[in-house]
Amino acid sequence: MKGVILAGGSGTRLKPMTRFLNKHLLPVGPYPMIHYAISKMAEAGICDILLVTGKHSGGLFIDYIGSGQEWNVRMSFKVQEEPGGIAQALSLAEDFVNPGEKFVVLLGDNLFEDSLTEEFARFREQPEQARVFLKEVEDPRRYGVPVMDDSRIVRIEEKPELPKSSFCVTGIYMYDAGVFDIIRTIRPSARGEMEITEVNNKYAARGMLSYGILNGWWIDAGTHLSFREAAQRMAGEATP
């Protein structure tokens, strides 16, 4: 399979640190945040990786990552001209993925402990069309929350006041190439972005959205508090 890492956005919640630097280039422990997403894909045997980022930081990513030789992968780069949501950024990968091919998507600010090697291999061989990964959290109201039925997700509710489970949807996704047809059917949300939750709900409505559960730690390093926790994790320090 191929891999896509989404590393755009404005990093609003991490300002002022992100005023002049893309958040995925901020140091988390010994490496920039983006280092870990590439490492997770390389660990799982994914050798062709596309990174999508904003135009203001593209050169810095290329300076750090280069061709991908450090990870023994082949890197490609695409520029998202303006922030337009995760689904819009993902649409830029269409010419990177061959028809009928399956691929993996990571949000670059999601840091996690689990190896996904077996999950990637299984998805490649199975007829599933879409798969997301869940993590049990203390306050699921902050996230997209799945409504589950056995091995499938019925729908995902975004930031619900009364969550139907204690799990959230993380920024780890697997799709077949049909996802690009689905993206073409959605429209920007009230906040002006093309939402990945809507894409996933299209799969869920067809009974085609399966899930896996992360057992180790997982951090969405998009706030000052979670960013500090991620740095402590990656530095091998004990967290509070």
* Phi, psi (degrees; rounded to nearest 5) at 138: -75, -40
pLDDT of 88 higher than 80: yes
Query: pLDDT digit string (tens) for 139-180?
Result: 999 899 999 887 789 999 999 999 999 999 999 999 999 999
pLDDT of 229 higher than 80: no
Bridge partners, 211 (sequence order): 132
pLDDT confidence of residue 197: 96
User: What DSSP string runs through 177-223?
Assistant: TTHHHHHTT----TTS---HHHHHHHHHHTT-EEEEE--S-EEE--S
- Structure confidence at residue 56 as a pLDDT band (50, 70, 90): confident
Q: Which of 11-15, 101-105, 126-130, 230-234 has the highest mean pLDDT?
A: 101-105
Bridge partners, 6 (sequence order): 52, 107
User: Average of pLDDT values for 15-30?
Assistant: 73
In Å, the largest CA–CA distance within the chain is 47
- Structure confidence at residue 16 as a pLDDT band (50, 70, 90): low
pLDDT of 225 higher than 60: yes
Query: pLDDT digit string (tens) for 211-222?
Result: 999 999 998 876
Classify 74 as helix, strand or coil.
strand
Residue 138, amino acid: E
